[in-house]
Structure 1
Amino acid sequence: MYGQVLGGTIVRTYDTSSNTRRGIQPPKKPINIHCVTNLTTYHRQYTTCYWDEAGDSPDTRYSVTMKQDNRTRGHCESQPGQNHCRLSEYADTFSDNMMVTMTAANSAGNVSATVHFDPWKIAKFDPPRSIQVEPLPTSLSVDWEKTDCPRYHEKCEVQCVEEGTNVTIVSNKTSPQRKRTIYVDDVKPCTNYTVAVRCTCSTSLWSDWSARSTVLSALNVSSVPFYLWRRVLERYENGTRRVQLMWKGSFCNLPIEYKLSVDSRNVGLDCTSVLLDGKAHEIEIAAYNNSKMLRHSFLKIPVIGKDMPPVRTPLATSRNGLIYISWEAPPTPVNDYVIDWLTDATQEALPSWERTQETNISFPGLSHRLYTVTITPLYEEGPGQERILHTYAEEGAPAKVRRVSVTKADSTWLTVDWEWVGPDQCCGFVVNYTVFYRDSNGPELNVTVNHPSHQVTLRELQPGTAYKVHVRTHSAAGFNDSDLFHFSTEAYGKAFIQNLVSGVGGVILLLLTAVCFFMLWRRAMNLMVPNPQLSSMAVWSPEKSLKPSFSKNLDVDNSHCETILLCRVDGETDAERCSTPSPTGDWTGDYSAGSGTAEYTGLALSCVISETQNKSLEADRADRRQPSRASPTPCSPYLDQGQHCKHRSDPYLDQGPVCSCGDLLDEPQGPGISEERDSVMESSQQKASPPCPTAMSYVRVDKLDGQIED
């Protein structure tokens, strides 16, 4: 059976510590504990201990106890917030050991830390006194009184700081003498230096720096850097060049007279800009004091076209107001490098410059000022090719675009071009350009292009619309906007005009093609009509009828002939027919039987009489000579009805039917028959006829446009 609790008491416990309620924690051990024993002649010697707090405990107090040789020699307590305290007694520097116990305590508890020291290693002497500095031709002599170092291992340092720079020269020397002296070398002539001294005794701590003394270094003529340099201002097409001469050298306050010469010819100092031709030259500058030459310097100018190689990979950067220039040496050995820089690139500006053998240099620069830096290697033969850099000590907003124009335009796009901002324009390097554009109602749009691009095409625009455009330049430090420009798109684009011209041209071409095909069709469908004005006639015998021999007056090669119309001649004998002259009387020669040739020109109408037609000649002759004639009947199916087979001015346009070839040689039967022809024919009957073959053939030769028919 289990027991049961019928009643009881609940006991609660609480921490009544106020520190716990406030959240205060016990302190932690201090760190970096160290002590210093000041050994001074004019003041009481003392030992001070220092430490760093390990935690955040504002009400913690620290106490320090120093023991030597198993006895307490000093004790001190710090005030709240202090991290050091001075012991009541100083440490014995001749003792072998020193123990320092530090206790940190607050309302929540305490903690202690113990450190051991060598008393001599924490000893610190007073700084040297009575510092004296004397300038020498090549150095500075620094003297001071001996310190209270009890041992013979005193070591001192001299610090020389060049005025206006951070260049520091530190020299040290150990000497057992009562009066100490150190010589500081490598000082610049005619330069102000601030000098201070500190010392240590064997392994003791370094003393503080002594009071500082300022001195002007002496002039050492042999060590004075005296250099001559030139800056090319202009180069001309004929090979001449204008150079600006400059030199540098400090001779303190001595009165110095300079003499400048080019190729041993004196040049006045009132104008340091000289004009040199393309040949090699040697320039000399000399410094005189009381007619005594102190220093001189030479500079060789190489001939045009014989340029030595430049430096490689030049680079310019800036940081904290300083400009850093660096480069790589060229493959050819170099004596020195000359770096010149200026903020005004005009010819009148005189640049700052330095001559060095290093491959880097730095100099202070002004904010928002563009520096043009030139790096030139100096060879034995003279200066090499230059490399030019542009840089800023502190970059600002870039220059703004001055000119914006439209080079091409269409109905839906514009090509915008602007004058790009070069690296020599202040006050920042352009990274990119942003073109903003908008119409009167739409939103503002933009397009960005990287430098050095200075053109962009704005697309998807409205035809015949005015747009407002401005260009913004961006640099690493800011931006700058150009003025506002107004441009408009074309109402009708080139594509529309081209399509319109192409359509009109296609219609015209189609019409011309149709006309050409129609003319070709008409020409193919219509028969060729001979021209009577271009016809002529010849007579030949039947033996020659297949191959007629034309008169020399008949141009066969260049003529065209029509098919011969065969007719029969009624009532005419061969003698009468052959003796009948040409209606126009233009026979040019005789013909004989069997020859079948005759020469005749000028008649556009002719007949061919075959041998089968001779049978009816006698019967037709009587009828042909009667006063009245019967109505003609057609003798050829090729003659149209209602036209006459008579000679007319245009017989082929108005021909009448004939019944026989006798009608062609008889009286007129219709209009258009010449009376002159009848009279000629009647008179020819009374003339003697030449011998004639039993049958003769007549041929009509007509000039056509493409063929000869007989």
Structure 2
Amino acid sequence: MSHQGLHENTCNVVLKDQYIEWGSDLDVVYPSSCVPRKIFWTLNNRRVGESQSRSVNSTHAVLSLRNFTHQSAILEWHSADTLQVLGGTTITAYSKPGKISCILYRKNQSDELSANLFNCSWEDPIKPSAQIHYSVLIATSSNPSPSEVCESKSKYCIWTISNGMSLLDSVTVTVRAKAAAWEACSDPRAFFPDHIRKMIRPKLTVTPFPDHVLVEWLRASFSKECRCEVSYGKADGGRLTELRPNTTPERSHGKMQIEKWDSCSNYTFSVRCALHEAPWSDWSDKKTVLTKLKKRDVKPLLWRKLSEPNEDGVRKVRAMWTEIASTCPDTFTSIKAAPIQERAVGADRKEASCGSSTCDVYVNQDAHRIILAVLRDETLLVEDSVYVPAIGESLPRVTNIQAATLGGVILVSWNAPIEPVAAYMVDWTHGGDRYYWKESRHTNTTLCDLLDKQPYNITVTPLFVDKTGHGARALQICSRAGDPGNVAIQVEAKDKSALVRWTVSSRAACSGAVVNYTVFYSTQEGPQLNITVDETEQFILLKDLHRETQYSVHVEAAALTGTTRSRETLFYTKRFDPELITVVSVSGSIALLALLLSSCIAVQWKKFKKKPVPNPALSSVVFWPAASHHEGTCPFQPFSNPSESICDAVYTSEAQSPSTSSLAARCDSNPAGDRTEEHVDPPTPTAPGDPVKSIETQHPSPREDSTGPLLPENSPYRRQTPVESSAPRSSKQCKRVSVKETRKIAPVTVYVTLDMFEQGQDC
């Protein structure tokens, strides 16, 4: 760029190099005679300090830039008065290759002969802005003049070593980078062949033993010492955990004993080697082996659970121990139940082969010791035993055992017995099918890895030097409380209210205790309303509802551990109150029944008022005709009212002969029915015809009421004279007399007192 002043001279900015090396210093020369007295510089629009500019002579000045680290930058100068750009230039940086590294190696990894490949790589401080071509120059002690051996457009280069190249002494390597506008060479770097020689990968052999794993490797004959390292770890789904212990220098072969490993596990091993200060060889082929069972890893932690004795005093003892991995080859476990007394005198013990971690042994009421033996290749690895007390044996136990749940784990604590305790065995189970146990030296422990929301039974047993105490069980406790149980609701809707009832059924043994219930209800248009009650309530009455409206309702049961929601239920409110309809219906029914009853009573009363009753004052005593005279016929005239029963009328009875059985059968449909007798004292005889003193007369009473007129004056009853009865007579109702009894009863006279009715009064 240029600036035109008063004179026709061109004012140019002069750079020593328009392309400069990245990180180097830069001087910008410009003419000071053709520019205003006050100017300033900017680099990529950032102002440069005035101290970096100085005058060279009366016509020129210099701007110095130190440690230029811009890949590309625009440098401009401005008038301080008008801020006008007076001139400038563009500066581009380049970098020379650096951090050169080289390796000598052999392409064929099966033999360790002289290396035949040379591989060098390098780095650039900045990303090139243009296409760059690289060349590798080699100089040796025998040929000190650098010669180009490789060209590349990338930052590495591989070439084959010629037979004439001597690699016994040092090799100097230079990398040259060349672009269209610039060229740069790296600093020369010297390498000793043994420092850059990469060995071929070794051959590996791995042998497992009971107490260690032997790793051996072999490499081709090489006169110089090398260093090696082994990588090993558990093979878990193809993943390899690498552990690299230090090794000692070896020449042609090496070996190492690995003692840190887990029993009966698959381990993968690999090894690599290198000359001193040289790069590592490639890793050898991986070898995977199954380790042996180590004696120090066998910790059976034997324990037992006792069942109640049967009628014969035999108890089942479930022996339990830490399971030995099924991958352990040639491993055998056995259980021996030895009575304490017999064991003391060396008696034979009963042996039983069991499963991998449990075994059931039956013992009597005496004290026993359960012995576990673990063998490998018929050689005893470890032996453990546990004491089984005799029935009724007095042994200490822990007290005040308590359990609490916190964050999915169970905290257990207890009080120690008075006797000194070696340790405590804590066992726990869910459901009783599978037990877990652990030993503790303290009076508290934490149970982890529990099933979620499940109840557990926990037992703590003190362990002594040679015996085992009695176990104490804590109250059943859940690993974690869950949500409340299922909520089922019922709705009884009315016109302006609805009764909502609910029940909670537990889904699991560890459902959380309900703290409160919340009832949510709303119409289709909303909004949703809610009412909360405490855990003691099981129903609620929703008030102020709209008539003939659909509502949705559900109930949420809330516990400290979560909530459970019932299904949503729809209901419709009524048009009228169902209770009002019921009251009206019942009241109407009662009124109708009362009306019908009143009508019935009125009709019956009317009939009763119209019913004719004979006037006893107009009758006289008369004897009943002979039995033969009335045989087969009723001795009186029936009433004209056919609706009345023939047995409803009051009649007098005379002595009845066996011929009256037909009459009795006619008057009583139940011949075996009960009979009722009334006994009346006989009257005092009076003069015939005296109406005042003859107050008791005898007359027959008809079997049916008569609606005809009273007897006429010429009635035979009026012509009879009073006859004194020689014996008391009894009056009977016809419907109470059976046929068989009537034949056996003596003649009876019925007396009617005339003053029972007033003469001339209607009945």
Q: Place the TM-score, normalised by the shorter chain, in its bin.
A: 0.3 to 0.5
Scaled by the length of structure 1, the TM-score of the pair is: 0.43
Structure with greater contact order relative to length (CA < 8 Å, sep ≥ 6) = 1
